[in-house]
């Protein structure tokens, strides 16, 4: 079995974290770098990441998350906040980044600009937000695998009050909304979930070859 598959078999959605174990700052940096390097449509990365360290704020987030203990017990809480709208300014700034990074003229990117104008910029704001949220889920998938590779536990979570999160994290005024969160740390010895057999669709039920 490849190491990558071993990593995936090792991981599970951690229900109870060891509240006394913290990620090293180096490990946290590596996980954030994995997020940073994640693929996104056109490379637009239409999201921001919020790492919540503040204990009082995490208590409030826990209240907004059906009191799930991971929010306060886990070493880290990583919030994926997607852009609620993709503006021409945002796209222009991205094109400038590309031009600078690759020593190109902006005119060299007219083809890409045209594609962005005829696709992402043409969507209505609601669809732009949904599209942006999906891109955040690619980064989430990558984070989960990166953490498993480092034998760091994670629990991706959707069970929270989005409006409350947006308010507590001041996301609305930044044109962001909470897409999904991941709690990250080390499993408690007492977490019984770690002993439960993984349930997955059989390849037969999941995969079709045409």
**Residues found near a copy of itself in the complex (CB under 8 A):** 2-5, 8-9, 11, 13, 30, 32-39, 41, 43, 45, 48-54, 57, 94, 97-98, 101-102, 119, 130, 133-135, 137-142, 144-146, 149-150, 156, 158-159, 169, 180, 196-201, 203, 205-210
Strands 153-157 and 176-185: antiparallel
Q: How far is the CB of 177 from a copy of itself (least distance, A)?
A: 14
Q: Which is nearer to a copy of itself, 3 or 67 (CB)?
A: 3
* Pick 106 or 196: Cβ nearer a copy of itself: 196
- Cross-strand partners of 47: 82
Contacts of 206 (CB under 8 A, 6+ apart): 200
Smaller CB distance to a copy of itself: residue 190 or 207? 207
> Any bridge partners for residue 78, and if so which?
51, 182
> In this structure, how many other beta carbons lie within 10 angstroms of the beta carbon of residue 116?
22
**CA–CA distance, 80 with 151 (Å, rounded to integer):** 21
Tell the smallest beta-carbon distance from residue 150 to a copy of itself (Å): 7
Q: How far is the CB of 109 from a copy of itself (least distance, A)?
A: 11
Nearer to a copy of itself, 3 or 124 (CB): 3
187, 153 contact by CB (below 8 A) = yes
Least distance to a copy of itself, CB of residue 42, Å: 9
Tokens of 143: 């984070």
Of 8 and 19, the one with the shorter C-beta distance to a copy of itself is 8
CB 149 within 8 A of CB 7: yes
Between CA 55 and CA 114 the distance in angstroms is 46
The minimum distance between CB 159 and a copy of itself, in angstroms, equals 7
The Cα–Cα gap between 105 and 192 comes to: 57
């Amino acid at each position: 079995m490849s190491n990558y598959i071993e990593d995936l078999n090792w991981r599970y959605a951690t229900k109870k974290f060891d509240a006394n174990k913290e990620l090293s700052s180096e490990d946290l940096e590596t996980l954030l770098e994995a997020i940073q390097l994640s693929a996104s449509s056109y490379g637009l990365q239409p999201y921001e990441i919020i790492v919540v360290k503040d204990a009082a704020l995490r208590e409030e987030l826990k209240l907004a998350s059906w009191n799930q203990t991971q929010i306060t017990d886990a070493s880290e809480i990583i919030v994926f906040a997607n852009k609620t709208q993709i503006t021409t300014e945002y796209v222009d700034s991205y094109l400038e980044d590309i031009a600078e990074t690759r020593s190109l003229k902006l005119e060299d990117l007219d083809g890409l600009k045209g594609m962005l104008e005829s696709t992402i910029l043409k969507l209505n704001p609601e669809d732009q937000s949904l599209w942006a949220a999906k891109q955040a889920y690619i980064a989430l998938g990558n984070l989960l695998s990166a953490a498993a590779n480092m034998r760091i536990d994670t629990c991706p979570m959707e069970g929270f009050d989005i409006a409350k999160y947006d308010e507590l994290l001041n996301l609305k005024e930044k044109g962001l909304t909470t897409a999904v969160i991941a709690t990250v740390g080390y499993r408690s010895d007492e977490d019984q979930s770690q002993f439960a057999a993984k349930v997955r669709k059989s390849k037969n039920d999941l995969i079709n070859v045409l």
